[in-house]
Amino acid sequence: MEGSAPRRTRIQQEKRELILEAALEVFSANGFRGSTIDQIAEAAGMSKPNLLYYFRRKEDIHETLMQRLLDTWLAPLRELDDIGDPMTELRSYIRRKLEMARDFPRESRLFANEILQGAPRIMPMLEGELKTLVEEKAAVIKGWMRAGKIARTDPWHLIFSIWATTQHYADFDVQVRAVLGPDRGGDGRFEDAARFLEQLFLDGLKPKV
């Protein structure tokens, strides 16, 4: 009975949340090796030994954070459904992904950091759960192509391109803002991006005749 989930007091639940929030901030900005327990502890407003009372090892924090992330991270793709107009479905998938880049940039950067370092801690998940999910959705997209609802292309690379273009606004945010400058790079940049991406994925760049 009650095998996996350890019983927790009220304080433990609260403090663990506090630590995870602080760790997300620190890890996403400095990477795993670039972050110290002291930094996380300070950001969480407690001493290092106190933090280590709630998470025995630095890796445990990162692992917990990563597990939580993955669920919410794939939610938009999971929602991509066969019901409804294909073009509308894709458009709203892009919009959802872009909203995640806007609202959860730290999560995006945490994920990017992990992949950049070769995904040492989540490789099984990529080859298992993620691969399966993408295969499933690629099949749906192929169906749309066969039905003549969208142009024929490679569904896998289509998904990659949506990931790349949307996550770019979280992962490369510093560069985006630097290049756009103070005026163009304000809060409106996400709406500009949404408009551009919609047009790109719909009509491409060829001029209308």
Which residues sit at the interface with a second copy, rule CB under 8 A? 29-34, 87, 90, 109, 112-113, 115-119, 123, 126-127, 130-131, 134, 148-151, 153-154, 156-158, 160-161, 163-165, 167-169, 171-172, 174-176, 178-181, 184, 192-193, 195-197, 199-208
Nearer to a second copy, 29 or 140 (CB): 29
3-state secondary structure of 199: helix
What does the alpha-carbon distance between residue 83 and residue 194 come to, in Å, rounded to a whole number?
23
Find tokens 């502890």 and name the residue: 41
Q: Is 10 in the site for DNA (CB under 7 A)?
A: yes
Binding partner at 174 among a second copy, DNA, none, C-beta below 5 to 8 Å by kind: a second copy
* The amino acid at 195: R
Q: Does residue 146 bind DNA (CB under 7 A)?
A: no
Asked whether the beta carbons of 144 and 86 are under 8 A apart, the reply is yes
* 118 counts as binding DNA under rule CB under 7 A: no
User: Which structure tokens are listed for 143?
Assistant: 């169906």
x/- string (CB under 7 A) for DNA, residues 37-76? xx-------xxxxx-xx--xxxx-----------------
Our finding on whether 5 is near DNA (CB under 7 A) is no
Cβ within 8 Å of residue 86, ≥6 positions away: 141, 144, 147, 149, 150
Q: Which of 72, 84, 100 minimizes the C-alpha distance to 190?
A: 100
Amino acid (1-letter code) at residue 207: P
Asked if residue 36 binds DNA (CB under 7 A), the reply is: yes
Does 117 contact DNA by CB under 7 A? no
| Nearest-approach distance from CB 7 to a second copy, in angstroms | 36
Rounded Cα distance between 19 and 159, Å, is 34
Residues that bind DNA (CB under 7 A): 9-12, 15, 35-38, 46-50, 52-53, 56-59
